[in-house]
């Protein structure tokens, strides 16, 4: 068997755009001959993937998987919803999420060969997108929610609660899926964003001719609405809008949440 060096594998990858494992196998089959290996990859339909790297991948699928005290939400990107709905694409998304839940966010690298293979098979720019893993500590619970359309996940959420139940964590996850908050608390919102919005709503109120004496109250009211769109704990519960998320939680506390949405 020919001695295949990492440098040769990298050169073949640059020549063909094929995956690392495919390049190694082709080089071994070709006895180390780069040109012959490139021809082997071409015949197998594994070459040419590099030309797809610059094509925009705005479609895809997401998955949410829970494993013991951990949960993962993972996004796999592609170019078209046709590919995103395919069985093999959805299966790989699920496999990635299960791997991340079990081992950690860096574990996606273990399936890089499978991603490369799928890129070559489906002939689209396919890549791993956003990846998040949450871990519940003692006394905490974790759960997930996945919203699906046409057989693929399009909105994945994971939530960790302290002092709550898995059922409550699931309900919070469902709420997050529909409201898409960017932050857990007001303290997490960047100060620059808050100041810019406050200046904007103040100017709007003045342009509307609102009395200066009532300006502070008017501005605070509009800022509360702005926070409500962005901050989970400021929101009304989607299943019962008269109750806030904070009220729904009672003595429980949201430790963290993660969300990935296709195209988001």
Could you tell me whether strands 127-135 and 59-67 are parallel, antiparallel, or unpaired per DSSP bridges?
A: unpaired
By the 8 A CB rule, do 130 and 75 touch? yes
For the chain, the distance separating the N- and C-terminal CA atoms, rounded to the nearest angstrom, is 48
Tally of domains within the chain: 3
In terms of domains, do 177 and 139 share one?
Answer: yes
Claim to verify: residue 101 and residue 163 sit in the same structural domain: yes
Q: What is the DSSP letter of 70?
A: E
- Specify whether 88 is located in the same domain as 24: no
Contacts (Cβ under 8 Å, ≥6 apart) of 85: 61, 150, 151, 152
Q: Which residues contact 16 (CB under 8 A, 6 or more apart)?
A: 23, 38, 41, 42, 46, 47, 48, 49, 50
Whether 1 maps to a domain, the answer reads: no
- Residue 224: inside a domain: yes
User: Which residue, 92, 90, 95, 97, is CA-closest to 66?
Assistant: 97
Do 108 and 132 fall within a single domain? yes
> Is 107 in the same domain as 206?
no
Q: Are residues 204 and 166 in the same domain?
A: no
81-125: pLDDT as tens digits: 899 999 999 999 999 999 999 999 999 999 988 998 888 888 888
Is residue 101 in some structural domain?
yes
Domain limits at 210?
190-230
139 and 251 share one domain: yes
Residue 57 has pLDDT above 80, yes or no: no
Residue 82 inside a domain? The answer is yes
Q: Are residues 90 and 167 in the same domain?
A: yes
- Higher-confidence residue of 49 and 16: namely 16
Global pTM exceeds 0.85: no
13-27: pLDDT as tens digits: 777 777 788 888 889
CATH at residue 210? 1.10.286
Output 49-54 pairs: Cβ under 8 A, ≥24 positions apart: 49/16, 49/17, 49/18, 49/19, 49/116, 49/119, 49/120, 50/13, 50/14, 50/16, 50/17, 51/17, 52/17, 52/119, 52/123, 52/124, 52/125, 53/17, 53/125, 54/125
Does residue 126 sit in the same domain as residue 21? no
CATH code of the domain in which 48 resides: 1.10.8.10
CATH of the domain at 113: 3.30.479.20
Looking at the structure, do residues 124 and 163 belong to the same domain, yes or no?
yes
Residue at 28 is within a domain: yes
Per residue in 201-245, pLDDT (tens digit) is: 999 898 889 999 999 999 999 999 999 999 999 999 988 888 889
State whether 81 and 157 are in the same domain.
yes
- Whether the per-residue pLDDT at 51 is higher than 70: the answer is no
169 found inside a domain: yes
Judgement on whether residues 94 and 153 belong to the same structural domain of the protein: yes
């Amino acid at each position: 068997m020919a001695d295949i060096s990492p440098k040769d594998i990298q050169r073949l990858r640059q020549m063909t755009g094929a995956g690392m494992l495919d390049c190694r196998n082709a080089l071994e089959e070709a006895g180390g001959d780069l040109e012959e290996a490139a021809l082997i990859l071409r015949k197998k339909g594994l070459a040419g993937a590099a030309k797809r790297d610059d094509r925009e991948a705005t479609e895809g699928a997401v998955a949410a998987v829970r494993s013991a005290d951990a949960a993962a939400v993972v996004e796999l990107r592609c170019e078209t919803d046709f590919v995103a709905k395919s069985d093999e694409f959805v299966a790989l998304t699920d496999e990635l999420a299960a791997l991340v839940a079990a081992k950690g966010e860096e574990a996606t690298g273990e399936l890089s060969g499978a991603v490369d293979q799928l890129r070559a098979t489906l002939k689209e720019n396919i890549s791993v997108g956003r990846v998040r893993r949450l871990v519940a500590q003692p006394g905490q619970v974790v759960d997930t929610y996945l919203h699906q359309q046409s057989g693929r996940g399009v909105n994945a959420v994971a939530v960790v609660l302290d002092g709550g139940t898995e059922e409550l964590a699931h309900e919070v996850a469902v709420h997050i899926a529909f409201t898409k908050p960017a932050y857990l608390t007001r303290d997490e919102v960047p100060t620059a964003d808050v100041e810019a919005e406050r200046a904007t709503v103040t100017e709007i109120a003045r342009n509307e001719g609102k009395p200066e004496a009532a300006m502070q109250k008017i501005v605070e009211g509009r800022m509360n609405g702005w926070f409500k769109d962005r901050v989970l704990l400021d929101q009304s519960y989607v299943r019962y809008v008269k109750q806030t998320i904070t009220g729904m939680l009672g003595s429980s506390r949201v430790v963290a949440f993660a969300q990935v949405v296709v195209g988001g």
